[in-house]
Amino acid sequence: MDQGNSGLRVEGFVAALGRALASGDAAAAAGLFGAECYWRDLAALTWNIHTAEGRDAIVAMLSATLATARPRGFALESSGATADGGEEGWFTFETATGRGRGHVKLVEGVGFSLLTALQELKGFEEKQGAARPEGVEWGAQRGRVTWQERRAREIAELGHSVQPYVLIVGGGQGGIALAARLRRLEVPAIVIDKLPRPGDAWRSRYKSLCLHDAVWYDHLPYLPFPAHWPVYTPKDQIGDWLEMYTKIMELNFWGATECVGARYDDAKGEWEVQVLRDGVPHTLRPTHLVLATGMSGVPNMPAIAGMESFAGTLCHSSAHREGSAWRGKHCVVVGANNSAHDIAVDLWEHEAASVTMIQRSSTMVARAETLRANGDRGPYSEAAAQRGLSTDQADLMVASVPYAVQPRMQKPVAAQLAHDDADYYARLRKAGFQLDFGEDGSGLGQKYIRRGSGYYIDVGGSELVADGRIALRAAVAVSAFGANTVRLSSGEELPADLVVFATGYGSMNGWAAKLISQDVADKVGKCWGVGSNTTYDPGPWEGELRNMWKPTRQDGLWFHGGNLAQARHYSRYLALQLKARMEGVATPVYALPEVRHRG
Amino acid sequence: MDQGNSGLRVEGFVAALGRALASGDAAAAAGLFGAECYWRDLAALTWNIHTAEGRDAIVAMLSATLATARPRGFALESSGATADGGEEGWFTFETATGRGRGHVKLVEGVGFSLLTALQELKGFEEKQGAARPEGVEWGAQRGRVTWQERRAREIAELGHSVQPYVLIVGGGQGGIALAARLRRLEVPAIVIDKLPRPGDAWRSRYKSLCLHDAVWYDHLPYLPFPAHWPVYTPKDQIGDWLEMYTKIMELNFWGATECVGARYDDAKGEWEVQVLRDGVPHTLRPTHLVLATGMSGVPNMPAIAGMESFAGTLCHSSAHREGSAWRGKHCVVVGANNSAHDIAVDLWEHEAASVTMIQRSSTMVARAETLRANGDRGPYSEAAAQRGLSTDQADLMVASVPYAVQPRMQKPVAAQLAHDDADYYARLRKAGFQLDFGEDGSGLGQKYIRRGSGYYIDVGGSELVADGRIALRAAVAVSAFGANTVRLSSGEELPADLVVFATGYGSMNGWAAKLISQDVADKVGKCWGVGSNTTYDPGPWEGELRNMWKPTRQDGLWFHGGNLAQARHYSRYLALQLKARMEGVATPVYALPEVRHRG
C-alpha cells in the first residue's frame, strides 16, 4: 500500500479509483486496497457475478475487463462510518454500455471491499417514472390498436408464430420476478409451470405454511406489498399475490405446462424445448433457457429395503399436502429441518396417533421470534423502511458484503442467539435433539448459502419436540420397512401408516439432467454453494454461488432461484445479462468458473 | 382583528389556536383570522364535511362543537411561504375521539384558511406498518384456522348468516376504494355491481377510452400504481387493476348483482335491500347504504317527437360500445362534451359515412397536452413524487383550498390556457364551435365541481371538428325524428343510421329515487354542486359539494362518487364516519344542510 494513500477517506478513494480506472491502470487501482480485499462485481465489469479476492485477483480482473468495460464517472452519493469503525460510501458510475451503483468499505483508511453493480443498460433503460408510457394515443387515428388488442395479439402470437427470446421453466417467485424484469426490459419471455395458476406451488403445500422470512425481505420487484401486508405471509395469500402480480405485470405465464425435454442446437444458437400444455405437445424455440425450478432441485428420495412392500403411504415432503387424513394414524417424519418440523406439527395438530421425527444428523434451530427481533434492527424492517431505506438499497447493502467475509460477521450473531435462548436450547438438547450452529458456528444464513438446508426456523415445532408430543429418534436412520413398520438403524421398530421423507433436494443441475441431458448437467456442474468445504458444499473456494444468475458452461442455459429476496435482487442482473445479449451488446464474460462438481 | 396578533407567524398562529380551543374560547379562535376567512373541517370537529366561512360562522361552528370534539395537541409539522406571498403550515392535532392533520394559510399575518381533517379514530387505528398482523400463528395449535379458511368462511357467511354493516351499491373505483378503507377499518361491507367482474364498468366502454386524468392523480388507497404505469391508463388496464385490487384487498365484491329496491326500517335502524344476484332474489339488511353508482347519476335521455318510429339505432352515450358496426353509416352524436367527442372520434376512426356532432350549448375545451403540462407543475406529478410529496399529502393540499376561493385562483389559469392555445381556439371557433371557459371564466375544474360536465379534454377530437371531418351543427337541438333522419331545430334534416345522445346524467339522487323512493330522493335533495348559481348549480351558496361523503337527511344513506382522486381521498372520511358509528363513537353532526333542490 502506497503510504501516500494511507489516509484516504471515502471521497478520496472513489476519486482515486476513478482516475486509476480511467487511465487503465489496474495496478494503481488495486493499490488502493489493503492486504485483505475484495471486489464484488455484479455484471458491471465482468458480465458475470464474480468476486475478485486480494490485490492480485483485482489486477487480473481489471486487466481483462477495463479496455472493454471502461468504467468511469464515479460520483459519491453518500458516505459515513460503519458500525465496526470503518468508513463506507455509495457511488454511481457508468461503463461503456451501462450505468451502475457501487459501495466501498474502507478499513484503516484503505480499501477493504468494493461492490460494482450494473443497474441499467444505456439506450435500454426501463420506461418508468418520467419516462413511463403515455397510455393514451393522442389524436384521432384510423386503425387504432388498443392496449387490450395489443396484449391479446401478443398472447396469441408468442410461443406460436413468434418465439420467446427467453423461456423460464418454473413459475414460482423466481420465475415470476425474472419474467417481470424481462417484461420491463422488453425481452419477449414465457414462463411455464406445471401447475395451473401462478401461486399454486404455494397453495398446494401443507396448510399451516407461512413465509419464513418477514415481509420487508419479501417484496417482489416493482410492486411492493402494501403497508398492511402481514409480517409472515400465509401460503394462500402469497399465492394470490403472485397470481395478481402476474396479471398486472402482463407476464406470459403458461400454466398447466410441463417441460418434458430440451435440446440446444449449437448451429442455430437456440433451444428446442418440448412442453405439454394442458397435455398437448408443443415445441418452443427460445434463445435462452432459464431453469427456475426451485433452488432446491430434484427431491432426494432414498432407496430403502422393504419400501416396495410397505403397506402404508410413503412420500417425499414436497408431495405431502396436509394432516387431516392422518388423524389416529402412526406417522414417521424422516428429517429434522424446516419441512420435517412443519409437517410433524401439522400431523400433531390433526391428532395423529403418534408422530415420530427421525433426526439423522444435527440441525440448527432458531426461534422465529428471536430472528424477527434481530431482523427488526436490520435493513429489511419497518424501522429501516420508516428511515427511508428502500428495498433496492437494502439489497445492495447486503450484496456489498463478500461471501468470504460473511462467516466472521455472522459467528457473533449465532453465539448471541445461543446465549439469549440458552434455556430453550437446553430443553431441546435434553429431549435428545442434536443441535448445531453451523460447522464453524456461523449460523443459519451460512447454512442457507452453503447447502440451502440444515436448519429449522422454529414457529412452534420445537416445543412439541422438547416435551415429547413429537417423539424424537436422533442419530439414527431408517434401515428397513416392514408391511406396517419402519425399522431404524438402532434396531427399534416403529408402527407406521405414513412415512414422509423430508430428506431435502439434490442440486439444481439435477433439473438439467432431467430436462436436458446428463451431459449438460455434468458440463455445468453443481449449482449453489460457495465452496466452503463444509457438508454438502465441497471446496475449493468459489467466492460466489455456483452457476446462479450468471453464465454457465452451457450456452444459453441459466439458473435462477432462491428466496424471495434473491429472486427480487438477482433477477435484475440475470435480466440485464439477457437483455444485453438480445440487443447485441458485447458481453465478454470474465472468469467463467471451472466446473469441479458434477453432482 | 386584535392588533397584538397582527404579526403572528404560522408557529404562533397554531400555538394560539391551540390555546384558544383548549380554553373553549371560540371568539378568541375566530379572532386569529382576518375578515375574509375559512375553516374547512373534514369530519374532525363537525362529523360533517363543512366549511365555515367568515369569523361569525367559525364562532358558531366552534361554539357548537368544541365541548364534544375537544381539539387539542396542535403541533406544527412544517411551515413556509406560499407562492402568493402568504405563509402556510401543516400541523397535527387530536380530538376526543380521533387524530387529525391540518393546514393553515396566513395572509398578511392573519388566518385566511384552515383545514382540519380527521385521519384516524383513537382505539380503531388501521393495522399497518409496525402494527401490521403477524400472518403466521406462532406455536402448534390444534384446530388451527388458516387465512384461507377464515376468508372462505367470511365469504360464505357475509350477506347470509351475517349481515354487512355497510352495503355499497356500485363497484366502480368509488365503491371499491371505499370498500378497501372499510376493510382496513374492520367494518363488514359488501359491494354490489350489476356487471360480473370488478372493472367491467370500464371494460364495457368504447375502445379508445383512457383515463382523462394522469396517473399521479389516480392512485387508489393503499396500493399505488407502479412506476411504469402509463400516464393515462387505457380502460381495460384500469379494469384489470380494479379486479386485482379487489382480490388483494380482500373485498367482498358481489358481481352480477343488481339492486332492485331498498327501504329503510326506522324502528330497526337498518335497510332492507332487495338484490338480484345472478338473477336470484336475495335480501340484505345493512345498517348503512352507500350509493356509489357514479356521481353522474341516471342517464338523461330526452323524449323527442318521432323517436318511436326511427328505424335506426338510438342510445344514450353510456350504452354505446364501439364504432366498428357503423362503418359506412350515417351517425349523429348529440352533445359536445367528453363522451360526445370520444364517441364521434371512435365513429370517424371506424369510417362511418358521416359523423355529425350536435352542439346544443357552449363547451369548454382544453388540449390534454396543455393540461398535462400544467399538471406537471402541480402536486400530482412525477416531479412532486420525486420531491417526496406523497399522494396523501397532495390530497390534503388540494383539500385545504376552500371552494369559495377556487374560482379566483383558477381564472388566471383558464386565461393563460386561452392565451397559450389561442390559434387552436381560433380554428375551433372558425368551424362554428361554441366555446366558453366557464360562466365566470374559472375554467374546467370549476365546471366539474359545479355540474360535473360542460367540457371536453381534447385528446384528438377537436382537430376533426376544426377541419370538418366531424361535421358540426352548433346552437341547435334535435327537434324530431324521421324514419331514417334527424330533424334539427334549424330545420335541417340529416340522414341517420345511429343517433347517440351524449346528453349527460341527472343528479345522483336520481338513483335514490330509482332504488328507494321519490320521497327519500326529495328528502335528501340534489347531490354535487356547491351552490355557485351557475348553470345546473343553483344557489344559494353551500360551500361544499351537496350530500357527498357526509350525512344526509336520510338516516343511513350516503353518497360516494367522483373521479379516482376523490374516490381515494374522500373515501377516508366516509369510512371513518361509518366506522365511528359502528363502534358507537359519538358523532354529533354539525350543520346538516337545508335541502333546497329536490331535482
For residue A238, the chain B residues in CB contact (below 8 A) are none
Query: Distance between CA atoms of B529 and B509, rounded to whole angstroms?
Result: 12
- B222: closest chain A residue by CA: A226
Q: Is the Cβ pair B208, A134 closer than 8 Å?
A: no
Distance (Å) of CA B155 to CA A197, A230, B147, B150, B159: 21, 20, 12, 9, 8
Question: Residue A133, Cα to own-chain centre: how many angstroms?
Answer: 31
Instruction: Say what percent of chain A tops pLDDT 90.
Output: 89
Which member of A148, A228, A463 has the closest CB to residue B184? A228
Query: What is the mean pLDDT of the segment spanning A561-579?
Result: 96
Q: Measured between CB atoms, which of A141, A248, A460 is closest to B140? A: A460
pLDDT band at A322 (very low <50, low <70, confident <90, very high): confident
Candidates A195, A162, A186, A194; CA nearest to A250 is A186
Asked whether the beta carbons of residue A136 and residue B184 sit closer than 8 angstroms, the reply is: no
Work out the minimum CA distance from B8 to partner chain A, whole angstroms: 34
Task: Provide, as residue numbers in chain A, all residues whose Cβ is less than 8 Å from the Cβ of B241.
Answer: 248
| B464 to chain A, closest Cα gap in Å | 8
First to last CA, chain B: 42
List the single residue in A134, A210, A385 with the smallest CB-CB distance to B136.
A210
Chain A residues within an 8 Å CB radius of B210: 135-136
Q: Which residues of A touch B231 (CB under 8 A)?
A: 132-136
pLDDT tens digits along A372-402: 899 999 999 999 999 999 999 999 999 999 9
Residue in B with minimal Cα distance to A470 = B140
Cβ-in-10-Å burial (0-12, 13-18, 19+) of B22 comes to middle
Q: What is residue A594's predicted lDDT score, i.e. its pLDDT?
A: 85
| DSSP-derived secondary structure for A461-500 | HHHHHHTTSSEEEES--EEEE-SSEEEETTS-EEE-SEEE
- pLDDT of B160: 98
Q: Measure in Å the smallest separation between the Cα of B499 and chain A Cα atoms.
A: 20
Determine whether A79 is exposed, middle or buried from the number of CB atoms within 10 Å of its CB (0-12, 13-18, 19+): middle
Are residues A130 and B232, on separate chains, in Cβ contact within 8 Å? no
Banded model confidence at residue A3, pLDDT cuts 50, 70, 90: very low
Helices and strands in chain A, H and E counts: 19, 24
Band of residue A8 on the pLDDT scale cut at 50, 70, 90: low
Tens digits of residue pLDDT in B467-516: 999 999 999 999 999 999 999 999 999 999 999 999 988 888 889 999 99
Query: Who among B223, B230, B241 is closest to A226 (CB)?
Result: B223
pLDDT digits (tens, 9 = 90+) for B368-390: 989 989 999 999 999 999 999 99
Binning pLDDT at 50, 70 and 90, where does residue A520 land?
very high
> What average pLDDT does the structure give for chain B?
94
| Opening angle at CA A405, ends A402 and A409, nearest 5 | 125
pLDDT of residue A31: 97
Chain A residue numbers with beta carbons less than 8 Å from the beta carbon of B211 are: 135-136
Q: How confident is the model at residue A28 (pLDDT cuts 50, 70, 90)?
A: very high
pLDDT over 70, % of chain A: 98
Given this model, what pLDDT does residue A598 score? Answer: 73
Residue A295 banded pLDDT, cuts 50, 70, 90? low
Contact A138 B368 (CB under 8 A): yes
* pLDDT value at residue A35: 97
CA distance A215 to chain B (A): 10
Distance CA A254, CA A268 (A): 25
Question: Is the confidence at residue B136, as pLDDT, over 90?
Answer: no
Quote the CA–CA distance of B549 and B439 in Å, as a whole number: 27
Contact list in B for residue A133 (CB cut-off 8 A) is 228, 230-231
pLDDT of res. B595: 87
Q: How many CB atoms lie within 10 A of CB A283?
A: 12
The alpha-carbon gap from A21 to the nearest alpha carbon of chain B, in Å, equals: 32
Angle at B484 between CA B482 and CA B485, to 5 degrees: 60
Q: Which of A106-120, B6-20, B179-193 has the lowest mean pLDDT?
A: B6-20
Spatial distance between the Cα atoms of A531 and B316, rounded to a whole number of angstroms: 72
Bond preceding residue B299 cis, omega within 30 of 0: no
What are the residues facing B366 on neighbouring strands? Answer: B457
Using an 8 Å CB-CB cutoff, list chain A residues near B222: 226-228
| B128/A227 CB distance under 8 A | yes
Closest alpha carbon within chain A to B345: A140
- Of the residues A127, A147, A182, A251, the best mutation for testing chain B's interface (the one with the most B CB atoms within 10 Å of its CB) is A147
Chain A residues within 8 A of B377 when measuring between CB atoms: none
pTM value? 0.95
Cα(A397)–Cα(A216) distance, integer angstroms? 14
For chain A, what is the radius of gyration of the CA atoms? 25
**pLDDT score for B561:** 92
The answer to whether residue B205 scores a pLDDT higher than 90 is no
CA separation (Å) from A26 to A54, A67, A540?
A: 13, 11, 26
User: Is the Cβ pair A134, B351 closer than 8 Å?
Assistant: no
Region of A142 on the Ramachandran plot (φ > 0 left; ψ -120 to 50 alpha; else beta): beta
The answer to whether residues A158 and A188 touch, using CB atoms and an 8 Å cutoff, is yes
pLDDT at position A400, please? 98
Strand-strand pairing, B364-367 and A270-277: unpaired
How close is the nearest chain B Cα to the Cα of A349, in Å? 4
Is B230 within 8 Å of A135 when comparing Cβ atoms?
Answer: yes
A37 phi, psi to nearest 5 deg: -160, 160
pLDDT exceeds cutoff 90 at B121: yes
Asked whether the predicted pLDDT for residue B155 surpasses 90, the reply is: yes
Residue of A nearest to B137 (CA): A459
- Of A171, A83, A142, A126, which is closest to residue A377 (Cα–Cα)? A83
Instruction: Establish, for the pair of chains A and B, how many residue pairs have beta carbons separated by less than 8 Å.
Output: 180
Angstrom CA distances, A143 to A155, A330, B134, B178, B328, stand at 20, 68, 52, 38, 15
Compute the average pLDDT of residues A260-271: 97
* Residue A7 confidence class, pLDDT cut points 50, 70, 90: very low
Mean pLDDT of A419-445: 97
Kindly report, residue by residue over B447-468, the tens digit of the pLDDT: 999 998 999 999 899 999 999 9
Distance, in Å, from the CA atom of B302 to the CA atom of B300, rounded to the nearest integer, reads 6
Please indicate whether, in this complex, the C-beta atoms of B244 and A248 are within 8 angstroms of each other.
yes
B509: left (phi over 0), alpha (psi -120 to 50) or beta: alpha
B129 to A386: CB separation less than 8 angstroms, yes or no? yes
Instruction: Answer whether B136 sits within 8 Å of A459, measured CB to CB.
Output: yes
For residue B563, what is its C-alpha cell?
373521479
Out of A136, A222, A233, the one facing B228 most closely (by C-beta) is A222
| A132 contacts B215? CB cut-off 8 A | yes
Which among A136, A229, A464 has the least Cβ separation from residue B210?
Answer: A136
Measure in Å the smallest separation between the Cα of B423 and chain A Cα atoms: 17
The rounded distance, in Å, linking the Cα atoms of B163 and B498 is 46
Q: Is the pLDDT of residue B1 over 60?
A: no
Specify the range with the lowest mean pLDDT, choosing from A307-311, A592-596, B17-21, B497-501: A592-596
**CA A487-A492-A495 angle, 5° bins:** 60
ipTM over 0.90: yes
Q: Is the pLDDT of residue A23 over 50?
A: yes
Across the range A313-334, mean pLDDT stands at 93
**How is residue A128 written as a grid cell?**
418508468
Q: How far is B467 from chain A (nearest CA, A)?
A: 12
Nearest-by-Cβ selection for A231 from B134, B146, B226: B134
Q: Model confidence at A138, in pLDDT bands (50, 70, 90)? A: confident
Residues of chain A neighbouring B463 (CB-CB closer than 8 A):
139-140
Asked if residue B5 has pLDDT above 60, the reply is no
- Report pLDDT digits (tens) over B239-294: 999 999 999 999 999 999 999 999 999 999 999 999 999 999 999 999 999 999 87
Average pLDDT for A123-140: 93
| Res. B8 pLDDT band, cuts 50 70 90 | low
